Amino acid sequence: MAMIAYQGLRVRRIDQVISTDDIIPGRYKHMFTSASDLVPHLFENLLPGFAATFDHGDVLCCSQTFGIGSSREQAVSTLLAAGVRAVVAPRFGRIFFRNAWNLGLPAIEVDTSSFLESECMDLDLVGGHAHCNLTTIVFPAPPRQMLEMVEQGGLLALLAKRYSRSIPLRG
Amino acid sequence: MTAPMVEQIIASHSDCGHVTEGDLVTAKVDRVYLQDGNSPTICRLFERYGFHGVFDPERVAIFFDHSVIAPDKEIAARLREAQAFARRLGVKVYAAGEGISHVVALEEGWYEPGSLTVGSDSHTCTGGVNQCLALGMGASDCVAAMVTGEVWLRVPGTVWLDVIGTPSSNTHSRDVAFYILGRYGQSPFLYRSIEWMGGWFDELSLDACATVANLGVELGAKCAFLPAGKNRSSMLRPIHPPAEGDPRRLKVDVEGLPPMISRPNSPEDVVPIDECKGTAINYVFIGTCTSGRLDDIAQAASVLSQGKVKAGVQCLVTPGSKKVFLEAIELGYIEALIRAGAIISPPGCSACLGTQGSIPATGDRVLSTMNRNFLGRMGNASAEIYLASPLVAAHAAIKGEIPSARELEQWR
């Protein structure tokens, strides 16, 4: 297992319960299938203007439960397309949590109260710690299968590899 | 102790003879169903990763329910893509007008007791009414399940919700579920399996039980299981709770519980109806996978057959399925609703999430029987959404405001 670590992530704080409706409103995900079409509408209702400030290498730090409600995977694919590399929160909505790991976006359950907006964060998944300013928060390292999904580009990339290996060569 | 229901079902669908909380296992899937809103995304994932078929076309279905009447040309185009995708895969299709997936799935026997179903919509948990392990999942999980007939699962812990006492006669099963959400929040239930129990369930209708199962996801649960009872499948098994006093067994006293209201913008912001009495309402929506079954339409019709929708109030009623619609016509409910001034829209998700009309106007105050009232849920973030039962919603349509518990009692 290679080391999966992110250095120099920028903390983006959110201080309320977030539903997947808040991340991406229902109508847009029925209109568009490309995540880049959805990015301008990220958090459109709840936090107008927030999406425009996202940058590659952001880490969302939510102080409350993140991603409750609808199963929409676009809540994850749109965050990824906007540059978000990881999400940390004390708790996650169950389906969002699965979707995040399935698409290779680490969702880590930690107490986020010590992380401040725009601070720099280093995140080591295998070691199980998040380091921010002078604080280090420890968490149980995710199971090997979940780390593998992040490393290999997601659940379906892994599945496609397995399938291509299982198809016998003709000749 | 007998293993919790979720462990029994996962174990019987995997190579492991026995599983416990926290295990990561690969389980065989009996059925997979998608809805129209995420099928186009799922179609793109099939193309991107080069998948061509499904594990068993007879066990995969696509339901067209979220945009029965396409509201714009983009969504119309996505619906055509979803139709073509369904034809290519040769899976079962429930066309627009058949109804909401979770309502039709119950009618059509897709939730077999003890089976494992994956759905692309979060309210797939409705299958728990039949003790089916029914799991709402995202697009990638659905693709994997469709292609391989398998899914990865982390075995959840179980919480037993022991409901004691009897709520007031105007209190719906959904009020009990929302009361619990308001009182405890999602924390005790997040990622877990809920096994409901208690004498209150014995006499409940199948429709009322389906509502409780449906709200499992609002409680944060992975899945929910309803107990056996008079009006339910004879295949259901008894619930085996741990002894009283076990921290996993939560006793909830609902004796005399009044109807509940969720205030904007969170299903969890639940208060007894009297805390909202007199709140002006100008749009009432009755329907959805939570409250669009025959019992629900019957309750709305019983109230509205004795009054008229107040001038200036829009009252939209959407039967959950074609079967519900036809039965409601036969029983005179639809005529009563139309004569009272309600608008009837074709079976489907209707106004629940802004993917078809009727979108509320800016400044509207909506009372809806749906399950979520997140900001902008119905397609306009400048409308307020309150949640309540069909009975309360029908009264609000007549009065143009949220009634008090006393008014409901007097009406009886």
pLDDT digits 0-9 by tens, B254-274 = 999 999 999 999 999 999 999
pLDDT digits (tens, 9 = 90+) for B190-215: 999 999 999 999 999 999 999 999 99
Report yes or no on whether pTM surpasses 0.95.
yes
CATH no., domain B5-154: 3.30.499.10
- CB distance B355–A163 less than 8 Å? no
Of A83, A94, A85, the closest CA to residue A20 belongs to: A94
Architecture category of domain B264-411 in CATH: 2-Layer Sandwich (3.30)
**Token pair of A27 as six digits:** 């109508």
| Nearest CA distance, A47 vs chain B (angstrom) | 11
The answer to whether residue A90 is domain-embedded is yes
**Token pair of A38 as six digits:** 């959805």
Name B48's Cβ contacts closer than 8 Å, sequence gap at least 6.
Answer: A156
- The CATH number linked to A92 is 3.20.19.10
Least confident of B13-17, B290-294, B311-315: B13-17
Domain borders along chain B are: 5-154, 158-253, 264-411
Mutual angle of helices B173-184 and B206-214, in 10-degree steps: 20
The pLDDT assigned to B175 comes to 98
The Cα B108–Cα B102 span in angstroms is 10
Q: Which residues of A touch B120 (CB under 8 A)?
A: 71
Task: Indicate if B264-411 has the same CATH topology as B158-253.
Answer: no
- Radius of gyration, CA atoms only, chain B: 21
A54 neighbors A40 (Cβ within 8 angstroms): no
pLDDT digits (tens, 9 = 90+) for A85-142: 999 999 999 999 999 999 999 999 999 999 999 999 999 999 999 999 889 999 999 9
The Cα B101–Cα B142 span in angstroms is 15
**Token pair of A120 as six digits:** 């720099």
Using CB atoms and an 8 Å cut-off, which of residues 109-128 of chain A contact chain B?
none
Note the ipTM here.
0.96
What is the span of the domain harbouring residue A72?
5-166
- CB distance A72–B138 less than 8 Å? yes
- CB distance B379–A72 less than 8 Å? no
**Token pair of B329 as six digits:** 């016509």
Residue A166 has pLDDT above 70, yes or no: no
User: HSE on the CB side for A62, CA within 13 Å?
Assistant: 21
Q: Which residues of A touch B381 (CB under 8 A)?
A: 44-45
- Work out the number of other CB atoms within 10 angstroms of the CB of residue B7: 20
Strands B158-164 and B193-197, how do they pair? Answer: parallel
The phi, psi pair for B330, rounded to 5°, reads -60, -35
- CB distance B379–A27 less than 8 Å? yes
The Cα B50–Cα B204 span in angstroms is 47
Q: What is the DSSP string of B30-96?
A: SEEEEETTTHHHHHHHHHHHT----S-GGGEEEE--TTSS--SHHHHHHHHHHHHHHHHHT-EEE-T
Interface test with A, best of B23, B41, B63, B223 (most A CBs within 10 A): B41
Q: What is the mean pLDDT of chain B?
A: 97
pLDDT digits (tens, 9 = 90+) for B74-125: 999 999 999 999 999 999 999 999 999 999 999 999 999 999 999 999 999 9
- Work out the number of other CB atoms within 10 angstroms of the CB of residue B243: 7
The answer to whether residue A171 is domain-embedded is no
The number of domains in chain A is: 1
B138 neighbors B151 (Cβ within 8 angstroms): no
3-class SS at B334?
Answer: helix
Interface test with A, best of B6, B44, B46, B49 (most A CBs within 10 A): B49
- Among A21, A91, A164, the residue with its CB nearest the CB of B376 is A21
CATH no., domain B158-253: 3.40.1060.10
The Cα B361–Cα B364 span in angstroms is 5
